[in-house]
Amino acid sequence: MQRALSLALLALAASGSYLDAQRCPERAVQHIRPSLRHAPPDLEGTYRAPFEFVCGAPATIRVRRVGAELVATVEADADCPQAGRTRWSGLPPVPGQAEFPVRIARPDGRMADGTARLSDRCGIEVGTGTGRASAYYRTDAACAPEPRPVVVFVGGFADGLNRNVVRVFCAYDAAWEHTRKLYFAYDADRGRMMRAIRDSADGAPVVLVGHSYGGDTAYELADSLGAHVHLLVTLDPVSPRREGQTVPRPREVRRWINVRVGSRPGLSSCGLAGAIGGAWGPQPAADADLRFPPDPAKDDPDDDHCKTEEMFLLQPVQAALAEIR
């Protein structure tokens, strides 16, 4: 019976007619920026303005918290008249806020109202709305240029059609997060995947995010990559050989978050995919074993297995991604 259902599901996925509702909507991609979503951006640090010069050198500022405000002051040699002068100040942004009001020093020393805009987690543009804004780029260790962490997304069965992970992969803003990203189907050549990840990471931290069969593949990749993996995220993983089982923690992986659907499987193609694929059991070896959805009253058996964006946006997952450096 299970084999017959599996063949039927294959046929449905091949035709795509039952998966149309899971395709990306015709709209601009919503950016997923964990470092902005999870907590107030950490803006304290050293920045350089490559197009501005102070006493013959590119302008360098130091952003510090003074009381409740962020204050940006010029860093220069002691004999430079501008050393220690305030460039701008203002209350720091709250989570999810990419712009915040500031007061900007004019050439005559007076302060003018302006706006600071985060261009990414390591860049700030400050201006009054007239003329060119000043662009500052963080240069301390928190924003080292290379090598950047690599976030690897592994799609499950028929992800090219239902785009459950493709949607998340496209929405994750690697440029903003100062990371790089890769995408693989769960059944891609394992050796090629390993080589591509190692070559791309070049010693930098690796994050693996896998859904359904892709969760099973991500788990095995993590076990092989070991200490290179700083974070493993398995989104309702399935595989016949691990159906209903708990699995050991992958060797040397620093952090593992497992998300599992709590509802019984429905009769839609999505619900059947979770059931026929062989859903894993609870994973006590994970650092966090999260039920999805967290509130059982919101269970949706027909679609929960395919709500990858909502799983990916769970607070513990976003918080862990925000910490990746």
């009253």: which residue's tokens? 297
Residue 110 DSSP label: -
Helices (H), the chain: 2-15, 34-38, 159-162, 164-171, 174-177, 190-201, 213-225, 269-277, 308-312, 315-322
Residue 269's domain spans which residues? Answer: 2-30+146-322
From the list 278, 256, 255, the residue with the least C-alpha distance to 265 is: 278
State the total domains in the chain: 2
Query: Residue 214 — pLDDT band, cuts 50, 70, 90?
Result: very high
169 and 289: one domain? yes
The three state secondary structure string of 46-63 is EEEEEEEEECCEEEEEEE
Domain boundary among 108, 140, 172: 140
Q: Is 123 helix (H, G, I), strand (E, B) or coil?
A: strand
List, for residues 25-84, the tens digit of each pLDDT value. 555 467 899 999 877 788 999 999 988 899 999 899 999 999 999 999 999 999 999 999
Q: What is the pTM of this model?
A: 0.85
Considering 111, 140, 169, which residue would you say is the last residue of a domain?
140
Q: Say if CB 184 and CB 153 are below 8 A apart.
A: yes
Residue (of 248, 145, 167, 149) closest to 207 by Cα position: 149
- Confidence band (pLDDT; 50, 70, 90) for 320? very high
Minimal CA–CA distance to 253: which of 321, 205, 201, 184? 205
pLDDT value at position 10?
41
Q: What is the CATH number of the domain that holds 78?
A: 2.40.128.520
Q: Is the residue at 158 inside a domain?
A: yes
Cβ atoms 60, 46 nearer than 8 A? yes
**38 falls within a domain:** no
Does residue 37 lie within any of the structural domains? no
The total number of residues written for the chain in this structure: 325
pLDDT average, residue stretch 88-114: 93
Per-residue pLDDT tens for 227-241?
889 999 999 999 999
Cis peptide, bond prior to residue 294, ω within 30 of zero: no
Q: Are residues 184 and 85 in the same domain?
A: no
User: What one-letter code names the amino acid at 33?
Assistant: R
**Domain edge (last residue) among 140, 175, 205:** 140
Read off the amino acid at residue 105.
A
Give the whole-angstrom CA distance, residue 189 versus residue 300.
Answer: 34
What is the structure's pLDDT at 187? Answer: 93
Is residue 35 included in any domain, yes or no? no
- pLDDT value, residue 269: 67
CA–CA dist 27, 10 (Å, integer): 29
